[in-house]
Amino acid sequence: MADFQTSTQRAKWVFTPQKLAERYKAANQRAVQLLEKCGTTQVEVDASGSLTYPTENARDQAADKKLKPLSVDEERFMRAFYEAKVQEVCSAFEFPHKIQATALQYFKRFYLQWSVMQHHPKEIMLTCVYAACKIEENHVSAEEIGKGIKQDHHIILKYEMAVLQSLEFDLIVFAPYRAMEGFVSNMEEFLQARDDEIQKLESLLKAATAEADKIMLTDAPLLFPPGQLALAALRIANGVLGVVDFDRYLESIVSQPNSEHTTSHLSNLLDDIESLVKNYKYPSEKDMKHINRKLKSCLGHSSSHDESKKREKRSKHKSHRSSSDAPPNGPPAG
């Protein structure tokens, strides 16, 4: 779909930084309250998308332990870790950038509604990759994805509906990659490029694609339209390669009749995106160890029994041992 202007993404999924911070805070708070009230945060899901929240009687079992919730920053780390995993998984399957970007957007949008304490990000990450393939018409079966990375594919199928619903069924997502191609072919005209320059532009596009991959890991996709992400990626790459006079190119863009920006305004927006990339933080192993332990206890996954069951599943990957068959109201701690 070529029209971002009338898209659900523009209407519903681009936020101000303040609004975004509020959303993350609110999602975290909901999980914190669940933990206080029920002693656990895990929300159970079934394949038809129905959700089962922990109840207060779950509290009795956990009452002896004082569980600490993840902070907003710790949640951010947790998401960053699994967002990087989205890219890893997609690269392992050699999926196009578009699918990777769609999966990342899905993942980011999902965690506007939920805390990582309510739905484990690993499961959501896999489901987002699966759903992105499906929606981008690059169909790969859940089983294939599961097998390829040695994960139980039933989890994917179990979460699919809940993920789709959390996305409010807004499934078409705009990524910067297509826009970048558009800008680069536009630059050819702008430069009235000769053959050698066309080659340089090709390498610019390649470098910018890698920059866009980095941008996709930040909050930028929830804050800026894809065209601006594309320009930011191109500007960063051009900063190294020096193929075009970027300021003059920006001027040529804003001088077009339908442009809403001035050069300086657009330039500031691109600065903002660049600084998000510069300030991007990926958790250290030590951070992750700590956060992961906390997350497991919040999700009620800390008992050794539960862990061994999981490990068994992973090593044997039996054909049918779907956790969705488990009674939804059973105690979450197992």
List residues near other proteins by CB under 8 A: 1-3, 6-8, 47-50, 130, 134-135, 137-143, 156-157, 160-161, 164-165, 169-172, 178, 324
Cβ 168 to other proteins shortest distance, Å: 9
CA–CA distances in Å: residue 138 to residues 34, 47, 288: 38, 22, 33
Task: Tell me whether residue 117 or residue 142 sits nearer to other proteins (CB atom).
Answer: 142
Q: Are 148 and 92 in contact (CB under 8 A)?
A: yes
The burial of 314, by beta-carbon neighbours within 10 Å (0-12 exposed, 13-18 middle, 19 or more buried), is given as exposed
Distance, in Å, from the CA atom of 256 to the CA atom of 233, rounded to the nearest integer, reads: 21
Task: Tell me whether residue 163 or residue 250 sits nearer to other proteins (CB atom).
Answer: 163
Cβ 170 to other proteins shortest distance, Å: 6
Q: Which of 149, 21, 134 is nearest to 75 (CA)?
A: 21
Cβ 9 to other proteins shortest distance, Å: 9
Q: 3-state class of 44 per DSSP? A: strand
Task: Tell me whether residue 107 or residue 249 sits nearer to other proteins (CB atom).
Answer: 107
For CA atoms 160, 164, 165, 167, the dihedral sign is positive
Cβ 164 to other proteins shortest distance, Å: 6
Task: Tell me whether residue 85 or residue 98 sits nearer to other proteins (CB atom).
Answer: 98
Query: Which residues on neighbouring strands pair with residue 51, listed in sequence order?
Result: 45
Query: Which residues on neighbouring strands pair with residue 52, listed in sequence order?
Result: 44
Task: Tell me whether residue 171 or residue 277 sits nearer to other proteins (CB atom).
Answer: 171
Distance, in Å, from the CA atom of 206 to the CA atom of 134, rounded to the nearest integer, reads: 26
Task: Tell me whether residue 143 or residue 271 sits nearer to other proteins (CB atom).
Answer: 143
Cβ 160 to other proteins shortest distance, Å: 5
Locate tokens 């068994």: which residue?
312
Cβ 20 to other proteins shortest distance, Å: 22
